[in-house]
Structure 1
Amino acid sequence: MSQHRERLKFIRPLEPFQVETPPISDDWLHEIKYDGFRTQVILDWAGARAFSRNGHDWSSRYWPIVAAAEKLPAKSFILDGEMIAPEPDGRPNFHQMHSRMVWNAEQLAFVAFDLLYLDGEHIRVLPLIERKARLWNLIKPAKGIIQYSDHVEGNGAAFFEAVEKMGLEGMVSKRRTSSYRSGKQDFWVKCKCWDVGDFELLGIRREPGKPAAAIMARGGRYAGTAAVTLPKGLRERLWKRVQEGRASKPAQRVPSAFAEDVEWVKPGITGRVKFLRGEHTLRHATLQDFKDGTQGSRPA
């Protein structure tokens, strides 16, 4: 097979580092972090294909996007982006992803945020701001099902505040002059928003040298764990309540890893938990407060 007849190959994605606060200098641009599945869409002489973040061919699941990609005004390209299940207002709904992939793929959308190859040219070495300009020129005719990830330049703190108010998962900041390299790179960083919510306490796990972990459930299902970082007085009240309400087994199904070293409690304790938004089990979560049935336990 001659060189020009070879198919374009999947490129391992660039992965951002997670940071607590967004960069503030003007040489960064900022985009919404879309809550979906990282996807690479490739077009070459034999048609378009869509790949998962690990390089699995998911073209059949994403067939409407693959069909739309073949109508774009180019002979070959590699797009990097996120496959989402948009609500009517455009916000991604991660919980709809699986059912739409199986039953309603035409209700998915692909948000493109980078262009790695275009019509015979590897453009990963170009500055991001140039790649995005070419990306916009390529996909601006596509309506709805293939979208462009808009960005703002500078003002990272203000952008983060806006993202938080809109109830979105977070933001990704990228150096405007950066090239594209596979793997974790510090010239892309993600900053996630926090949420606070009420969860049912199933039990407490204590391990030497670690903060105690509260095992939490929501809506009758195991939701993850939260570190118990309560002030001393409140923590002592929680330990007393756990001792009084001991149970022989958890009120909900939990992972088998919790078989030992856990004090299970009877239903009735609600924990107020701070956690990273957009995760599908609790991550970096802390127990902020708790209440026991109708008896409040909030500190003054």
Structure 2
Amino acid sequence: MPPSEIGKRRRVPSILRRSGSGERATGPDGRASRRPGFRHIADAARELGHETIILDGEAVVLDASGRPDFGALQQALGGRAGHRHARESILMAFDLLYLDGQDLTGRPLVERRQLIETILVERQGNIQLSERIEANGDILLQHVCDLGLEGIIAKRLDRPYRSGRTGDWLKVTCSQAGSFAIVGYEPSVAMQGAIGRLLLAARKGEQLVYVGGVGTGFTDKTLRDLKRRLDEIQTSTPVVTLRRKGAVYVEPTLVAEIQFRAWTHEGKLRHASFKRLREPADNAEVAELPESGA
């Protein structure tokens, strides 16, 4: 990556608007946000001391080490069962689009960053500044992955603000890989004689536990070949605690290599993608369920 790009943590973008008539959270299209629980962030915007301000950022929940935790955010906003509250979220702001009557979207990112840094630098609380790092992209990405973060956003400093996916920024994610026992499949509803999704398991001590499914990364031929091989080892009783309507269960003799983004708090694979079927000669060891997902 060229040195004119910067790396930042980012997930779902959101915009916060505050004016003299009140505050409201909106999406990138300007419509009112349907996401609950951001009143504490709107209150923090009032304390910034500006009549009108539009920030681009994202709500995150940080773990004990100060890292964004997507699973905790889902729990805080009600997307997953759990005992968390939306007030745990903070807005990590990474861009400034409008300030006290001035439309800043036509200015280059380097100028917008200078302005937002004067407003939010060293600020703690419910609105914080997303850190900007100018560095070699490959080296930065390696450090980010080593820290267990999800990746970086690389942006060109000389570009104006443009919504949507443009060539002005890149999303570069970290990924993990592991070998998982295939314990069943869901038949394809679009292709006769093929699987639609593999059901996977990891080890927990001496037992296998269900860790989710994978439905991407296959060729049409692989989908059919897998169904043929799995049908030869069908079993009426699943080897893991799992009841799924329409699923076909198999003996856990085949192992798949899976690439995935992260583990969820519930011990499931996030953003899983099939890479290949491991051959018996590989002696592949089935992945161990991490303690956080136990």
Q: Per the shorter chain, which TM-score range?
A: 0.7 to 0.9
Alignment correspondent of 1:50: 25
Find the partner of 2:168 among 168, 187, 191. 187
Q: State how far apart, in whole Å, the 2-side matches of 1:105 and 1:131 are.
A: 29
Identity fraction in percent: 24
Q: Residue 39 of structure 1 aligns to which amino acid in structure 2?
A: S
Q: Residue 136 of structure 1 aligns to which amino acid in structure 2?
A: E
C-alpha displacement at 1:94, in angstroms? 1.1
Q: CA RMSD in A?
A: 3.6
C-alpha displacement at 1:266, in angstroms? 3.3
C-alpha displacement at 1:58, in angstroms? 4.3
C-alpha displacement at 1:214, in angstroms? 5.8
Q: State how far apart, in whole Å, the 2-side matches of 1:239 and 1:105 are.
A: 43
With the length of structure 1 as denominator, give the TM-score of the two structures: 0.72
Q: Which has the higher strand share?
A: 1
Superposed, which structure 2 residues align to 1:90-239 within 5 Å?
90-101=66-77, 103-140=84-121, 142-201=123-182, 202-203=184-185, 215-218=198-201, 219-220=209-210, 222-225=212-215, 227=217
With the length of structure 2 as denominator, give the TM-score of the two structures: 0.73
Q: Residue 62 of structure 1 aligns to which amino acid in structure 2?
A: F
Superposed, which structure 2 residues align to 1:28-67 within 5 Å?
28-33=5-10, 35=11, 37-52=12-27, 55-58=31-34, 60-67=36-43
Distance change (3 Å), C-alpha of 1:94 and 1:276:
closer
Q: State how far apart, in whole Å, the 2-side matches of 1:245 and 1:275 are.
A: 26
Alignment correspondent of 1:247: 235
Task: Answer 1 or 2: higher relative contact order, Cα 8 Å, separation at least 6.
Answer: 1
Corresponding position: 1:273 with 2:262: no
Q: How many residues align?
A: 260
C-alpha displacement at 1:179, in angstroms? 0.5
Q: Deviations over 1:2-28 (max 9, x none)?
A: xxxxxxxxxxxxxxxxxxxxxx21221
Q: Secondary structure at the match of 2:77?
A: helix
| CA contact 2:218–2:274 (8 Å) conserved in 1 | no
Which runs of 5 or more residues in structure 1 are unaligned?
1-23
Alignment correspondent of 2:276: 287
Which runs of 5 or more residues in structure 2 are unaligned?
79-83, 202-208, 286-294
Distance change (3 Å), C-alpha of 1:124 and 1:239:
closer
